Structure 1
Amino acid sequence: MPKKIKVLWVLTSIVIVLGFFFTSIKFQVQQSREDHKRRAEESRIAYEEKLAKRKAAMALSKKVENIREMVASGKNKKAIILAKEVVEKDPENALARTWWAVALVNLKKMDEAIEMFKASSSKDPNQAKTYQFWGLTLVKMGRYQEAIDKYENALLLEPENSNGFTYWGAALGQMGRHKEAVEKLIKALDLNPFNKLAYGVLVDSYFHLGDYPKAWETVKNAKKQKLTIPEGTLSRLRKVSPEKG
């Protein structure tokens, strides 16, 4: 092969190789840019979806709070309508079901309320509030031992809940188990020395045990905390004990 042709062939080969090389680099750069744009777009979409979910969750949380306020103000039927709306949008929402159940209790629909408490606990077994209201409902139905079981469930989740021990003590008192009731009520007051209900139930428990000095001592302790005992409880105590609170 003549020298000039050989040189030309080599140069041509080099040009072709360089052409492929630069074309490959250009393609890779372009591909990298497209990948970057795609990832950026995916990140933007993911962020917007996350933001939308957060806003939706906040809106539902606000509605659940509205349900609670409706129940507290006696607007039970409206509370149930809103609870249904929340549950339709968020089938796993346990707290909406709990307030729905409380509204049913207020409407004297006890059996329906119990079923709703069951549904709530199945969605979220870690809601102490559900078990506590469930227990209070069972007390209204005269099912005291079942109520105690629910209070125990609530206290396993919130062991420092003074009201839980108060309700437990009150249920024991309804069953005539006043010594056990005293233990729970003292525990309630250890956790919260300003628990007015616990003082009242404790005075009543001492009354039924015939321990009138302890009953009056509890009355005095309540007064030290600037709390009052129900007049009916004091009236019963005064009839059997001359000591005044």
Structure 2
Amino acid sequence: MPTRIKLIWYLCIVITVIGFVYLAAKDRMEEAMLAEERAAKRSEARLQQLKNPNKQKIKVDPIKVIREMNAMGKYQEAADMAEKVAKEFPDHAAIQTWWGISLVKLKKTQEAVNHFIVAAKNDPTDEKAHLYWGLTLAMEGKFAEAITHYRTVLEINPEHSNAYAYWGASLNALGKYEDALAKLGESIALHPLNSTAYALRVDVMYNLKRYEEAWQAVQKARAAKIPLPKGSIDRLAEAFPE
């Protein structure tokens, strides 16, 4: 092959190789540019998200938050949050119940009852709504009405120890001491460490003037390390020293 032709042939090969390298590099650059654009868009979106935190959709359990607010004594904040959530979810029974509970803590009992009514209507199996509805009525001295709600709680959940305890408390307030003892006994049978039931049992025994039995109940509570109200023990000690 003549030298001139060889040179032309080699030159064509070199040009072809350079062309492939250039095109490959160009493709990589275009891919890199596209990747950079995508990264820039992601960064910009994240920046806007940080600038506007209210637009972020963060999943939070409102019931848990409201419950924690009540535990911390932030009753008004809890009621305000419940109201806000209830506007968005008007048929949510638990929100209505916790709204009512928050209002009870604020001593707005009639408003609270209205929310328990809504909760029970939205979900007839909401035992907490009926339990606090009963407690609220008892706070107003409506013990017979309160008992109807404790009974409803037990229809929903037959093993609700506190429902029996509060039922016993209302019977005690109505002067039906023997019936009260029976309900408190059922409460303790379901939950042997129910401090509410033990404390009420001591009070009922005191009201029946069965002081020795009252002290036996106190001793049993002490053995189980169940706390009892100091007022109940002081009153018992004054009537019948240990």
Q: Tell me which interval the TM-score lies in, with the shorter structure as reference length.
A: 0.7 to 0.9
Preserved contact between residue 144 and residue 172 of structure 1 (Cα < 8 Å):
yes
Structure 1 alignment gaps of length 5 or more: 1-55
**Residue deviations 1:145-199 (CA, integer Å, cap 9, x gap):** 1111111111111111111111110111111111111001111111111111111
Q: What residue number does 1:126 align with? A: 125
**Residue deviations 1:10-57 (CA, integer Å, cap 9, x gap):** xxxxxxxxxxxxxxxxxxxxxxxxxxxxxxxxxxxxxxxxxxxxxx9x
Q: State how far apart, in whole Å, the 2-side matches of 1:147 and 1:201 are.
A: 17
Q: What residue number does 1:71 align with? A: 70
**Alignment-mate amino acid for residue 221 of structure 1:** K
Q: Does the residue aligned with 1:184 lie in a helix, a strand or coil?
A: helix
Q: What residue number does 1:172 align with? A: 171
Preserved contact between residue 71 and residue 99 of structure 1 (Cα < 8 Å):
no
Question: TM-score if structure 1 supplies the norm length?
Answer: 0.72
Q: What residue number does 1:199 align with? A: 198
**Residue deviations 1:108-159 (CA, integer Å, cap 9, x gap):** 2111111111011110010111111111111111111111111111111111
Q: Does the residue aligned with 2:193 lie in a helix, a strand or coil?
A: coil
Preserved contact between residue 64 and residue 86 of structure 1 (Cα < 8 Å):
no
Q: State how far apart, in whole Å, the 2-side matches of 1:114 and 1:200 are.
A: 27
Q: Does the residue aligned with 2:202 lie in a helix, a strand or coil?
A: helix
Q: What residue number does 1:89 align with? A: 88
Q: State how far apart, in whole Å, the 1-side matches of 2:163 and 2:201 are.
A: 14
Q: Does the residue aligned with 1:226 lie in a helix, a strand or coil?
A: coil
CA RMSD of superposed structures (Å): 1.6
**Residue deviations 1:218-245 (CA, integer Å, cap 9, x gap):** 1111112112322211111122223x2x
Among all aligned residue pairs of Structure 1 and Structure 2, give the percentage whose two residues are the same amino acid: 37
Q: What residue number does 1:210 align with? A: 209
Q: Does the residue aligned with 2:159 lie in a helix, a strand or coil?
A: coil
Q: What residue number does 2:139 align with? A: 140
Q: State how far apart, in whole Å, the 1-side matches of 2:206 and 2:80 are.
A: 45
Tell me whether 1:189 sits opposite 2:188 in the alignment: yes
Q: State how far apart, in whole Å, the 2-side matches of 1:94 and 1:167 are.
A: 23
Q: State how far apart, in whole Å, the 2-side matches of 1:199 and 1:78 are.
A: 34
Q: State how far apart, in whole Å, the 2-side matches of 1:143 and 1:63 are.
A: 31
Give the 5 Å matches for 1:1-245. 59=59, 62-242=61-241, 244=242
Q: Does the residue aligned with 1:185 lie in a helix, a strand or coil?
A: helix
Question: TM-score if structure 2 supplies the norm length?
Answer: 0.73
* Count of aligned pairs: 186
Q: State how far apart, in whole Å, the 2-side matches of 1:90 and 1:229 are.
A: 41
**Alignment-mate amino acid for residue 110 of structure 1:** T
Deviation at residue 91 of structure 1 after TM alignment:
1.9
Preserved contact between residue 203 and residue 215 of structure 1 (Cα < 8 Å):
yes
Q: State how far apart, in whole Å, the 1-side matches of 2:70 and 2:227 are.
A: 27
Q: State how far apart, in whole Å, the 1-side matches of 2:213 and 2:178 are.
A: 13
Q: Does the residue aligned with 2:107 lie in a helix, a strand or coil?
A: coil
